[in-house]
Amino acid sequence: MTYRTHASGQLGWRLAPRDETPLYELFHGDAFAWLSSAPPSSIHAVVTDPPYGLVEYSESQLRKLKAGKGGIWRIPPSFDGCRRNPLPRFTVLTEKDRVSLRTFFAELSDPLMRALVPGAHVFIATNPLVSYLVYEPFIAAGFEKRGEIIRVVHTLRGGDRPKNAHDEFPDVSVMPKSCWEPWGLFRKPCEGRVQDNLRKWKTGGLRRISPELPFKDLISSAPARGIEREIAPHPSLKPQHFLRQIVRASLPLGEGVILDPFMGSGSTIAAAAACGLRSIGIDANREYVEMAQAAIPRLAGLSPEELRANGAGV
Ligand SMILES: C[S@@+](CC[C@H](N)C(=O)[O-])C[C@H]1O[C@@H](n2cnc3c(N)ncnc32)[C@H](O)[C@@H]1O
């Protein structure tokens, strides 16, 4: 496996010989700055899990997360021996936050439209509370909405009784217990028919699971845990079992480059590497880029049996 690492947009060090195309490249820097200088029509798919509270990955909020109190991150109460992972407090978003989120995704979708080849797909993780703030700017930027991938994931989020009034309202939940995570699926319009676009740009469709089975929009996927979390202790780690299915589907002919502009610990890049697909990862936080450098080869090296033994898919 060969890869290159770039620090703040500069070529850092690389393991790939000069004439060899690396399997993946990692950049430390701002995704928007990177995208503004990306060559037009150079990326074939995007698979990403962006920041949502906008502020949740700011230095002050990350300090509060590490301290275990205050800020947008909440540590849900644990019970039955289950440790619950920190979650950003999306329900406290104000109107100003909502405007900022819309602006964030408008500023993301415009340069993505330019950097992507015709027919390129975008898979973008979201949640049922804020997905509309992602989808509208993507459609306004000219993307076609091609559906949603429903990740069936049984977290311990939601379903709680009214705070400090549990005994008074024992039969009431404030919100449904969350059992799914939507991933918006968008496509840059094709040039001509899908078959023309596939020939010219290698994009436009989704890779089938097998000749008999098309890619499906419902995927059962347990939260990342155990060995994956030990390898990549990012607060928003996504599981390999799920990401490998998504990245594989994103390049219909297995050719081209997948971008994750918000790679965190590099789980998308690792999934692409495990599938033998080329990718580029960016993160603004140096600590996470270093985490990704170390984690990617180890995550990519986990076999399907090891992922199953780790509880994947259930
Ligand atoms: C939800 S996390 C992604 C986690 C990833 N799915 C994983 O499995 O590790 C979002 C990431 O976006 C990064 N980020 C936030 N703003 C950014 C920006 N403007 N440019 C690049 N990365 C950014 C954060 O540092 C964070 O690691």
At residue 20 the predicted structure's pLDDT band, cuts being 50, 70 and 90, is: confident
In a domain, 314, yes or no: no
26 lies in some domain: yes
Share of the chain above pLDDT 90, in %: 73
Q: Domain for residue 252, yes or no?
A: yes
Residue 260 Cα to ligand 1 middle (Å): 9
Domain containing residue 54: CATH number: 3.40.50.150
Count other C-beta atoms under 10 Å from residue 192's C-beta.
Answer: 12
Q: Is the per-residue pLDDT at 9 higher than 80?
A: no
Residue 160 lies in a domain: yes
Q: Is residue 226 part of a domain?
A: yes
pLDDT at 7: 53
Ligand 1 pocket at CB < 6 A: 30-32, 49-51, 57, 234, 236-238, 261-262, 264-265, 267, 282-285, 288
Counted domains in the chain: 1
Of residues 122 and 59, the one with the higher pLDDT is 122
User: What is the pLDDT averaged over residues 48-75?
Assistant: 70
Q: What is the 3-state secondary structure (H, E, C) of the chain?
A: CCEEEEECCEEEEECCCCCCCCCEEEEECCHHHHHHCCCCCCEEEEEECCCCCCCCCCHHHHHHHHHCCCCCEECCCCECCECCCCEECHHHCCHHHHHHHHHHHHHHHHHHHHHEEEEEEEEEECCCCCHHHHHHHHHHCCCEEEEEEEEECCCCCCCCCCCCCCCCCCCCCCCCCCCEEEEEEEECCCCCCHHHHHHHHCCCCCCCCCCCCCCCCEEECCCCCHHHHHHCCCCCCCCHHHHHHHHHHHCCCCCCEEEECCCCCCHHHHHHHHCCCEEEEEECCHHHHHHHHHHHHHHHCCCHHHHHHCCCCC
Residue 157's pLDDT band (boundaries 50, 70, 90)? confident
Average pLDDT of 241-266?
Answer: 98
State which of 263, 287, 296, 298 you would mutate to test the pocket of ligand 1, scoring each by most atoms of that ligand within 8 A of its C-beta.
Answer: 263
In this predicted structure, what is the pLDDT of residue 154? 86
- Describe the strand order of the beta sheet including 278-283 as a list of residue ranges: 10-14, 3-7, 24-28, 278-283, 257-260, 43-48, 116-125, 180-187, 144-152, 218-220
Instruction: Quickly state the pLDDT bin for 16 (edges 50, 70, 90).
Output: very low
Given the CA of residue 261, which atom of ligand 1 is nearest to it? Answer: 21
Does 302 map to a domain?
yes
- Closest atom of ligand 1 relative to the 236 alpha carbon: 4
Radius of gyration of the chain (CA): 19
CA distance 25 to 158: 37
CB atoms within 10 A of CB 4: 18
Q: Report the separation in Å between the CA atom of 243 and the middle of ligand 1, taken as the mean of its atom positions.
A: 16
Q: Whose CA is nearest to atom 26 of ligand 1?
A: 264
Atom of ligand 1 nearest to the CA of 265: 9
Residue 26 CA, ligand 1 centroid: distance in Å? 13
pLDDT per position as a tens digit, 78-129: 444 444 455 555 566 788 888 999 999 999 999 999 999 999 999 999 999 8
101 alpha carbon to ligand 1 midpoint, in Å? 15
pTM to 2 decimals? 0.88
Please check the confidence at residue 267 and state whether its pLDDT lies above 90. Answer: yes
Structural domain containing residue 54: 3-309
Structural domain contains residue 183? yes
Q: Which among 126, 143, 129, 42 has a CA at the least distance from the CA of 93?
A: 129
What are 198-242's pLDDT values in tens digits? 999 999 999 999 999 999 999 999 999 999 999 999 999 999 999
State how far the Cα of 178 lies from the Cα of 85, in Å rounded to an integer: 14
Atom 12 of ligand 1: nearest residue by CA position: 262
Position 14 pLDDT exceeds 60: no
Say which residue the tokens 């436009």 belong to.
204
Lowest mean pLDDT among 58-72, 132-146, 189-203, 209-223: 58-72
Structural domain contains residue 134? yes
Spacing, Cα 36 to ligand 1 middle (Å): 18
Lowest mean pLDDT among 75-84, 175-184, 237-246: 75-84
